[in-house]
Amino acid sequence: MKLLHLYVIIFTAAFSGFCCAEQENSESQIAEIQEIEVKELNFEELPDESLIGDLSEVVKEKESFADLFLERVRRTESRAIMHPYAEGVSYVNGQLCHVGNYPQSVIYTVLEGPYYGTQTTMTYDGIVLYVNYEYHIEYTFGGTILTHYYSDSKIITGSNQIIKFY
């Protein structure tokens, strides 16, 4: 019986070393934040005042007649909230930004530094459409939430982003 206890102790000690090694290895696989260079977006040369308008014209997909008809029939609020099809955090020209990719444009929200809170809406061709410096900040247990207001909507940015149309 003592021999069985000795085998169990040796077996446990041998495999506990492998378990710890596996745990240390998984922690070292943290992804780095990627850096993006956008030549057309220079934070120093943006206008001094906010330039805002209707986001629905520059963010949503072009809708066909059938889509408009179905939306009228359904009358759901699912179209009132829009999510980016891809989003993440990246360094854009040296500024830490939340990047939200929408069908017609990209929205960059600066998350640190001297341009904190600046939100730019830009086409995929490199044309800056809107610049919004004004935001409301809310501190929560989960992190900081920035809300930017536009003529027809508001953009809520935290760890992810949504656009809520009025």
Tens-level pLDDT at each residue, the chain (166 residues):
666 666 667 766 666 665 554 445 555 566 788 888 888 888 888 888 988 888 877 777 665 555 555 555 555 544 588 889 999 999 999 999 999 999 889 999 999 999 999 999 999 998 899 999 999 999 999 889 999 999 889 999 998 999 998 8
The contacts of residue 40 (CB under 8 Å, 6+ apart) are: 122, 126, 127, 128
Inter-CA distances, 28 with 18, 21, 89, 146, 159, Å: 16, 11, 20, 31, 23
pLDDT number for residue 16: 64
pLDDT number for residue 55: 83
> Residue 34, Cβ neighbours under 10 Å: how many?
11
The contacts of residue 100 (CB under 8 Å, 6+ apart) are: 84, 86, 87, 106, 107, 109, 157, 161
The contacts of residue 3 (CB under 8 Å, 6+ apart) are: none
pLDDT number for residue 135: 94
| Distance between CA atoms of residues 54 and 74, nearest Å | 23
| Distance between CA atoms of residues 161 and 156, nearest Å | 6
| Distance between CA atoms of residues 154 and 81, nearest Å | 10
**Strands (DSSP E) found in the chain:** 35-36, 81-82, 86-92, 95-101, 105-110, 119-123, 128-132, 136-140, 143-149, 153-157, 161-165
pLDDT number for residue 65: 57
User: Which tokens in the block code for residue 156?
Assistant: 């809520």
